[in-house]
Amino acid sequence: MIEIVSNLGIVIIIGVMAFFAGMFGDLESDVSSNNPNSRILHAPEHGKLHKLFTRVISSTAILLTTMTTISGTFTQVFMELNIPVVVILILAPLITTVLHVIVIATKYMGQMVGNAMYDQPLYIDVLFNNIPTIAAYSYICLFSITFMSYMTIYELTPKQYLSMPVLTFILGLLLGCVTSIVGDIYSGAEVLYQHRKKGEVIPEDESFDITTKEAEFSRNSIDILYLTSKFSGPASGLCFALIIFLIFWLFILFGSHYGIVIGFLVTIAIFIINYVMDVSAHKRFDKNKKESE
């Protein structure tokens, strides 16, 4: 009984860290890349000069998985060197964050220089505004994933026979999928195409006609955070935390065999609830469908 209570306490801590990982992982994605990324990338070719920060590296899932795995690898190496755990949990995500920022910053600068033939300048203020924000969000996300992995492997009982790189890889991949799906509740596309009606199909020859101006200044990726920090960020964090908490909670309470069965039933129930909510939302709010009917 004491073991179950202790494990549930640890799972609650892991769930809280999962919330922060999901929220700040999504916000980092919002401020370092915009949706749809490829259209913003080629906008200068069509006369749309902008101050939007586009990392243009890969999908969020791939990038997050890579960085969390690197952080987990550093953690494992430092533990073999008998460095204090507190120092490791701070240092490993910090080193990985530096690598993360270097990759993103150099890719963005290279892309802007490549677009110089279309008169697209490299704005220094974009770097100064976005890079520190990306670094802060990235560090919180990586620290949370690394801390979750450490608690899972070394604090839960019975002992989990996984290495830090393997578990951080799994959690990073899961987090990347969550931020790509749930986080796309809002990621800037609506405002980038605000001259179009909501839900309207954008013709290919007009897909680069993005909105580049704010009410007073040029539109920046930081502007996206004013809304995503209220909606898509917390939603991603809540989704990731629920997934992590439910997985651990079911297996701790019901064991490995019954936990799989209960987890399957919970998944089916959530699927049905989501389907009903989606159909209901389309019936109530889908303006285009109502007009076609």
Residue 284 lies in a domain: no
Residue 289 lies in a domain: no
- Which single residue is written with the structure tokens 């919330």? 19
CB 72 within 8 A of CB 146: yes
Residue 268 lies in a domain: no
- pLDDT, residue 205, reads 63
Residue 292 lies in a domain: no
What pTM value is reported for the model?
0.85
Residue 29 lies in a domain: yes
- Which single residue is written with the structure tokens 């393997």? 166
As a whole number of angstroms, the distance between CA 106 and CA 101 comes to 8
Which residues of the chain, if any, have pLDDT below 50? 292
CB 214 within 8 A of CB 45: no
As a whole number of angstroms, the distance between CA 36 and CA 192 comes to 9
CA nearest 167: which of 26, 65, 40, 60?
65
Residue 76 lies in a domain: yes
According to DSSP, the residues that pair with 213 across neighbouring strands are: 218
- pLDDT, residue 5, reads 78
According to DSSP H, which parts of the chain are helical? 2-32, 37-42, 60-80, 85-114, 124-154, 164-181, 189-192, 221-228, 232-285, 287-292
Residue 101 lies in domain: 2-257
Structural domain count of the chain: 1
Residue 282 lies in a domain: no
- pLDDT, residue 63, reads 86
- pLDDT, residue 46, reads 81
- pLDDT, residue 169, reads 95
CB 26 within 8 A of CB 46: no
- pLDDT, residue 83, reads 92
Residue 174 lies in a domain: yes
Neighbours of 8 (CB within 10 A): 14
